[in-house]
């Protein structure tokens, strides 16, 4: 380019409001007659996109997040299906990148692919990005992810709660003026990572917190993670807590069973800091007892030892 690209200010004035008034695709009574797109794309703002996989393609119907910075975009998670024919994630992401670059021209624009954790419904589409130009794909496995983030065994075990970090020492991923905070969040999975985006105020919690069944692999680690998330929210402006699934119905305490492919009465994806505190109170009530513990907006599912 002959002139320097216009730089977008992602830091001015704190989190910027966006649009979460969206009707998510939620399957159909007959998968054979499903007419939903393979991937639903919702623009929260012109630099922030939330994607959902079609339930007819995979019942998990995970959400993915595409955030644009001045130098590169990041795709967080790659969905539950490997086949580009059935789940054209690369094509959809490339189209969104092309459209964004048409509005904000610049050369050498990159793509970073990260993950909330390594479960199959969050990494299946990774291979679609192999060989993509100007792309860094970070494997979700603990060793690969932690090396990229430069986490140590002490990462996320608490900073000074009075120094403004909420008791967390996060790593930072710079997209070009849009800097994400990231930290380990074990409990659901030992390699889980939470992301915070100051531009939107999104706290991206993967499968640690969402309106559904919170499967807990490691109870003490899960409790510590929830405490750290709340500590972070106490010191940072969090607009929405966004996980990667919806499994509850709008009827308090009633979830859609596993393998469900039609969920016509879903609550919103976004949760609040207040709901995060409800999870903390539920932790105290459960006290580490194995089993399925039902609460109005979520279910704690604790593995047997």
| C-alpha distances out from residue 284 to 172, 243, 279, 287, Å | 32, 22, 9, 5
- Please give the C-alpha separations between residue 183 and each of 153, 156, 165, 166, in angstroms, as whole numbers: 11, 6, 12, 12
d(CA 219, CA 289): 9
| Interval 74-85 mean pLDDT | 98
Determine the pLDDT at residue 2.
61
The pLDDT of residue 156 is 47
Q: At residue 166, does pLDDT exceed 50?
A: no
Say how many C-beta atoms besides its own lie within 10 A of residue 150's C-beta.
9
DSSP E strands: which ranges in the chain? 39-45, 48-53, 63-68, 72-76, 110-114, 135-137, 171-174, 179-184, 193-197, 202-206, 213-216, 240-243, 291-295, 298-302
* Model pLDDT, residue 126: 98
User: Tens of pLDDT along 112-145?
Assistant: 999 999 999 999 999 999 999 999 999 999 999 9
pLDDT at residue 159, as a whole number? 44
Q: Lowest mean pLDDT: which of 24-28, 162-166, 242-246?
A: 162-166
- Overall average pLDDT of the 77-94 stretch: 98
Selection from 7, 64, 40, 23 nearest residue 268 by Cα = 23
Specify the higher pLDDT residue, 33 or 10. 10
pLDDT at 33: 86
Of residues 33 and 40, the one with the higher pLDDT is 40
Residue 164 vs residue 110, higher pLDDT: 110
Q: What is the mean pLDDT of residues 292-299?
A: 98
d(CA 63, CA 19): 16
Q: In percent, how much of the chain has pLDDT > 90?
A: 89
Phi, psi of 88 (to 5 degrees): -80, 60
Locate tokens 């990159």: which residue?
A: 110
The secondary structure of residue 127, as a DSSP letter, is G
Give the pLDDT of residue 1.
55
Q: 286 pLDDT exceeds 90?
A: yes
Taking a C-beta distance cutoff of 8 angstroms, is the pair 115, 192 a contact?
Answer: no
The pLDDT of residue 14 is 87
């Amino acid at each position: 380019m002959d002139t320097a690209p216009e730089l977008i200010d992602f830091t001015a004035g704190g989190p910027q409001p966006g649009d979460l008034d969206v009707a998510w695709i939620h399957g159909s009574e007959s998968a054979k007659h499903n007419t939903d797109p393979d991937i639903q794309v919702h623009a929260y703002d012109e630099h922030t996109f939330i994607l959902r996989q079609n339930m007819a393609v995979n019942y998990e119907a995970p959400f993915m997040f595409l955030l644009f910075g001045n130098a590169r975009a990041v795709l967080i998670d790659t969905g539950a299906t490997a086949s580009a024919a059935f789940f054209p994630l690369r094509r959809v992401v490339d189209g969104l990148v092309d459209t964004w670059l048409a509005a904000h021209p610049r050369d050498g624009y990159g793509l970073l692919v990260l993950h909330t954790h390594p479960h199959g419904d969050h990494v299946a589409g990774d291979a679609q990005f192999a060989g993509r130009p100007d792309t860094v794909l970070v494997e979700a496995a603990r060793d690969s992810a932690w090396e990229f983030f430069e986490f140590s065994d002490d990462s996320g075990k608490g900073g000074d709660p009075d120094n403004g970090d909420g008791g967390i020492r996060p790593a930072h991923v710079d997209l070009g003026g849009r800097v994400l905070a990231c930290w380990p969040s074990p409990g659901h999975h030992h390699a889980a990572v939470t992301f915070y985006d100051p531009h939107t105020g999104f706290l991206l919690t993967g499968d640690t917190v969402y309106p559904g069944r919170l499967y807990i692999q490691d109870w003490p680690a899960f409790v510590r993670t929830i405490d750290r998330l709340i500590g972070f929210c106490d010191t940072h402006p969090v607009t929405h807590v966004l996980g990667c699934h919806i499994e509850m119905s709008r009827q308090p305490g009633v979830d859609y069973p596993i393998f469900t492919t039609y969920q016509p009465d879903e609550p919103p994806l976004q949760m609040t800091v207040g709901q995060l505190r409800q999870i903390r109170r539920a932790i105290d009530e459960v006290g580490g007892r194995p089993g399925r513990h039902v609460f109005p907006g979520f279910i704690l599912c604790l593995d047997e030892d």
